[in-house]
Amino acid sequence: MSEEEKQEKQEEAPAAHDDSTSERASKLMGGMMKGLRDFGTVAMEKAEAYGKIATEKAEELTKMGKIKLDIHQLKRSRAKELSELGELVFNLGAEDKLAELAAHENYTVLMKSITDLDIEIKNKEDLAIHVERIEKADEATD
């Protein structure tokens, strides 16, 4: 084998080595890219699931908050009606006309309004209890 042949053989060997190294690097890079894509897909699925859970929880809290606000407003209205009734009774008592209370127009209107508000408050409180039970049952199944 001449010197030229030896030199050509030596030049071919590193080229073959470079090709196999390049091929391994390419496979490694491809594997890494696939792994990153898979990770990204799983991360997206998890983010969507957590987003859905957060949305559902926010809706539950909003619903419960609205019910509690309604109860608060109804109780304020009831307190106002009771105050008006108390003022009516006081004024009639000051005028020695308490015997006429049951026949007084404002008395019957206020009594009916207060009774209706009591019913609405009770219904809303029952609804709040029902919603809380549903939420606890949902949390227990999760």
CB 78 within 8 A of CB 114: yes
pLDDT, residue 27, reads 84
> What φ, ψ does residue 104 adopt, rounded to 5°?
-70, 135
Which segments in the chain show pLDDT lower than 50? 15-16
pLDDT, residue 5, reads 63
CB burial of residue 74 (10 Å; 0-12, 13-18, 19+): buried
pLDDT, residue 19, reads 67
pLDDT, residue 9, reads 59
Tens digits of per-residue pLDDT, 104-129? 899 999 999 999 999 999 999 999 99
pLDDT, residue 4, reads 65
- Residue 79: give the domain boundaries: 3-141
Q: How many domains does the chain have?
A: 1
CA 44 to the chain's CA centroid? 20
